[in-house]
Amino acid sequence: MVTQVEPTDIQCKDREAGLSLIEVLAVLAIIGIIGTMVVINVLPLIGGANSQAAEAQVRQLEQGVETYRLVIGRYPTTEEGLEALVTAPDDPRDAASFPVDGFINELPVDPWDNPYQYLFPGENGRFDIWTWGADGRPGGEGEDADIGNWTPDTN
């Protein structure tokens, strides 16, 4: 015996088979809210991480300059700059004391892809090493603030 299926039974099951437009929009709204919360909470941390990385690199460069002075007997000149930490000097006497791998492995750029600045004699100490910050210009606040070997750590 063949049973007959009522057309209303099939229609009811088809309506229950997927998500309605309202349900899809509600899910998208929830995802948007969660995404916004993540962005609001994570973006400030990125700026702080860049500043902390710059502080660490300034300390590394400062140690390299001090080691240069101990080995070579003088600080690099402003003209020699921080490049003196990775490139042997022209003077044969100084070059003889220069380590094969230099005083640091490589000369870093700051987290904003700008070169570090060097001044000898310094205006804030024996020598100054600094970055202009995110804006690449003197002064500024927050992530745009200058970070140098004379500025206190913000950790």
Angle at 134 between CA 128 and CA 138, to 5 degrees: 45
Fold category of 23-148 in CATH: Glycoprotein, Type 4 Pilin (3.30.700)
Distances (CA, A) of 73 to 20, 60, 90, 106: 78, 19, 15, 21
Kindly list the domain boundaries of the chain, sorted by start residue.
23-148
Give the predicted TM-score (pTM) of the model. 0.67
| Residue 112 near residue 133, CB atoms below 8 Å | yes
Measure the CA–CA gap between 102 and 108, rounded to whole angstroms: 13
The pLDDT tens digits of the residues spanning 33-88 come to 888 888 777 766 666 788 889 999 999 999 999 999 999 999 999 999 999 999 99
The pLDDT tens digits of the residues spanning 88-118 come to 988 898 889 999 999 998 999 999 999 999 9
